[in-house]
């Protein structure tokens, strides 16, 4: 499409609907005189206003409602909400409850990462036209996905009641303790699936990124609470050495607005925020253990190659980490099974107040903020999803990619762009804030 009103030659590339990302989005790029002027990642997922929806609801309902922001990260939303409300009440769950939550959360990682890698991204890498083509031509890989994904859904079903939108996770803890035999069978399944996870890493390591990265992003993630690689925490750390309590998220996400938010004109010093698997590995690879650590060391990531495409590889390393940690945690649960206790509602002392809960989700840090009144009803709420934080970086990446191509009409460019966007897996269903960055 060209626009002749301007003196300069303008060129617009439109990719109407990027398929195979978890949501709907389109990219619009305006080019004038060989320079990219605007990149607009337009999210046309209908907005759902969760911040407003939850108002007036009793705190007990909040995890169930926010879970509906996104099926894929539903466990993350449930936990972020529960963390925030528990902070308001000034309570902390007992150790075993936290372990159950961790296992559940890792189950989500296994499911989400494997689905993203195999069903959404890999078909690009191997040149399959789509998942169905992929399924028929790459039977083994397809079955890897089925098995890994089943593992993740199994874990979440045993602990949470179903593969997503869990029913067993509540403010304060679990409503019922899963059967011992079921927990034991999870260990067997985890052990059986472990080799597949290792294969996945090897598989992804062999691909060559189709596009080169030019600028370094700023990585940011939660600092794991207990010093082990993990996803629960109360403070964030950036690759620039910035550190803050999550309760200040409003300030720091805004403060850095120059490089985080409005990516329209230019990214200051070429750096924009990048959250997710790659960020976590960049920041905390030193506390990885076992096989996951070994794989990281041998990967391009360890050599400082931060091409966004490697996000998928980072995810596969996290799957290995998740499997090993799950096995370890489940063993603890089995050993101390009789100490496990379901939440007793009458012991929950409701208090008014406000707090922020945060958790690392597959795509990055998720923040939930709530304020409760005396009745335990929500009077204010805010959520910031990982995808929202990554959008600026995606636009930036698109810009850099386009500039690497001479021929804007080329089909390759369109394909590369789609591949690139998919590598981030911008989960637009959860993009409660994303729309604000997509207009010029």
Partner 1 sequence: MKSDGTLPKIAVHGLTGCAGELLVILENLGTVLPYVQVASFPFAQSKNDIKDVDIAFVEGSVSQEHDIEVLNKIRSHSKWLVAVGNCAVHGCVQSSTCAKFTPQEMVESVYGKDSAIKALEAKPLSSYVEVDVSLSGCPIDKNQFLAVLASLLKDHLPYIIERPVCLECKMRENGCVLIEKNLPCLGPVTAAGCGALCPSFDAACYGCFGPCKDPQLDAMTLILQEKGYNLSDVLVRLGTFGIPEAVLSNLDVRR
**Whole-angstrom Cα distance, residue 322 to residue 316?**
10
Least separation in angstroms between CB 61 and partner 1: 6
What SS3 class is residue 237? Answer: strand
**Whole-angstrom Cα distance, residue 406 to residue 410?**
9
Residues 6+ apart with CB under 8 A from 377: 56, 57, 58, 59
Comparing CB distances to partner 1, the nearer of 48 and 213 is 48
Least separation in angstroms between CB 396 and partner 1: 22
Listing DSSP states for 347-366 in one string gives G-----EEEEEEEEETTEEE
Comparing CB distances to partner 1, the nearer of 127 and 270 is 127
**Whole-angstrom Cα distance, residue 132 to residue 93?**
44
Among 56, 195, 290, 353, binds partner 1 (CB under 8 A): 56
Comparing CB distances to partner 1, the nearer of 243 and 380 is 380
170 binding partner 1? (CB under 8 A): yes
Q: 14, 27 in Cβ contact below 8 A?
A: yes
Helix (H) or strand (E) holding 381: strand 378-384
**Checking DSSP bridges between strand 218-222 and strand 273-274, what pairing results, if any?**
parallel
CA distances to 27, 89, 150 from 12, in Å: 10, 52, 42
Tokens of residue 263, six digits: 């990516």
47 binding partner 1? (CB under 8 A): yes
Among 13, 31, 40, 72, binds partner 1 (CB under 8 A): 72
Least separation in angstroms between CB 73 and partner 1: 9
272 binding partner 1? (CB under 8 A): no
Least separation in angstroms between CB 155 and partner 1: 15
Only one of the segments 4-12, 70-78, 228-236, 241-249 lies at the binding site for partner 1 (rule: CB under 8 A); that segment is 70-78
Least separation in angstroms between CB 302 and partner 1: 32
Among 58, 298, 347, 410, binds partner 1 (CB under 8 A): 58
- Tokens 């620039």 locate to 240
Residues 200-219 touching partner 1, rule: CB under 8 A, are none
119 binding partner 1? (CB under 8 A): yes
Among 13, 23, 329, 401, binds partner 1 (CB under 8 A): 23
User: Taken in order 377, 382, 386, 387, is the CA torsion positive or negative?
Assistant: positive
> Which x/- pattern over 292-331 shows residues binding partner 1 (rule: CB under 8 A)?
----------------------------------------
Tokens of residue 303, six digits: 């050599």
Q: Which residues of 104-138 are buried (b: 16+ CB within 10 A; e: fewer)?
A: bbbbbbbbbbbbbbbbbbbbbbeebeebeebbeeb
Only one of the segments 19-27, 218-226, 329-337, 361-369 lies at the binding site for partner 1 (rule: CB under 8 A); that segment is 19-27
Q: 383, 69 in Cβ contact below 8 A?
A: yes
Least separation in angstroms between CB 176 and partner 1: 4
**Whole-angstrom Cα distance, residue 342 to residue 300?**
44
Q: 56, 371 in Cβ contact below 8 A?
A: no
410 binding partner 1? (CB under 8 A): no
Only one of the segments 32-40, 63-71, 192-200, 268-276 lies at the binding site for partner 1 (rule: CB under 8 A); that segment is 63-71
Among 137, 165, 235, 264, binds partner 1 (CB under 8 A): 165
Residues 98-117 touching partner 1, rule: CB under 8 A, are 115
Q: Which stretches of the chain bind partner 1, using CB under 8 A?
A: 17, 19-20, 22-24, 44-53, 55-58, 61, 64-65, 68-72, 74, 115, 119-120, 129-133, 135, 146, 149, 153, 161-165, 167-168, 170, 174-176, 342, 345, 375, 377, 418, 429-430, 432-433, 435-436, 439
């Amino acid at each position: 499409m060209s626009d002749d009103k301007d003196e300069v030659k303008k060129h617009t590339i439109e990719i109407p609907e990027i398929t195979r990302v978890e949501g709907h989005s389109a990219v619009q790029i305006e080019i004038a005189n060989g320079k990219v002027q605007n990149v607009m990642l337009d999210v046309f997922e209908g907005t759902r206003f969760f911040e407003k929806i939850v108002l007036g609801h009793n705190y007990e309902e909040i995890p169930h409602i926010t879970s509906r922001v996104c099926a894929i990260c539903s466990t993350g939303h449930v936990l972020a909400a529960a963390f925030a409300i528990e902070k308001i009440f000034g309570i902390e769950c007992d150790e075993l409850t936290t372990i159950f939550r961790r296992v559940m959360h890792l189950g989500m990682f296994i499911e989400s990462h494997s689905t993203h890698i195999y069903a959404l991204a890999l078909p690009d890498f191997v040149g399959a036209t789509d998942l169905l083509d992929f399924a028929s031509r790459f039977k083994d890989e397809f079955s890897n996905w089925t098995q890994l994904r089943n593992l993740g859904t199994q874990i979440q079903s045993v602990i949470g009641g179903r593969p997503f939108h869990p029913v067993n996770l509540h403010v304060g803890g679990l409503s019922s303790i899963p059967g011992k035999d079921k927990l034991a069978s999870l260990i067997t399944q985890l052990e059986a699936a472990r080799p597949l996870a290792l294969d996945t890493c090897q598989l992804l390591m062999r691909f060559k990124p189709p596009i080169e990265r030019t600028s370094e992003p700023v990585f940011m993630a939660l600092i794991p609470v207990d010093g082990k690689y993990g996803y629960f925490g109360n403070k964030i750390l950036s690759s620039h050495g910035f550190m803050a309590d999550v309760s200040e998220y409003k300030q720091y996400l805004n403060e850095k607005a120059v490089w985080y938010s409005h990516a329209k004109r230019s990214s200051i010093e070429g750096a924009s925020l990048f959250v997710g698997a790659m960020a976590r590995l960049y920041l905390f690879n030193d506390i990885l253990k076992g096989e996951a650590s070994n794989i990281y060391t041998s990967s391009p990531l360890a050599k400082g190659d931060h091409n966004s495409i490697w996000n998928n590889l980072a995810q596969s390393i996290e799957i290995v980490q998740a499997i090993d940690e799950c096995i370890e945690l489940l063993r603890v649960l089995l050993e101390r099974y009789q100490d496990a206790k379901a939440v007793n509602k009458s012991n929950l002392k409701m208090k008014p107040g406000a707090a922020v809960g945060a958790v690392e989700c597959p795509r990055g840090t998720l923040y939930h903020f709530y304020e409760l009144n005396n009745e335990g009803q929500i009077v204010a709420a805010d959520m910031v999803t990982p995808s929202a934080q990554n959008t600026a970086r995606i636009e930036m990446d698109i810009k850099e990619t386009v500039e690497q191509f001479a021929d804007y009409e080329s089909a390759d460019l369109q394909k590369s762009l789609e591949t690139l966007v998919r590598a981030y897996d911008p989960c637009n269903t959860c993009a409660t804030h994303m729309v604000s960055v997509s207009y010029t």
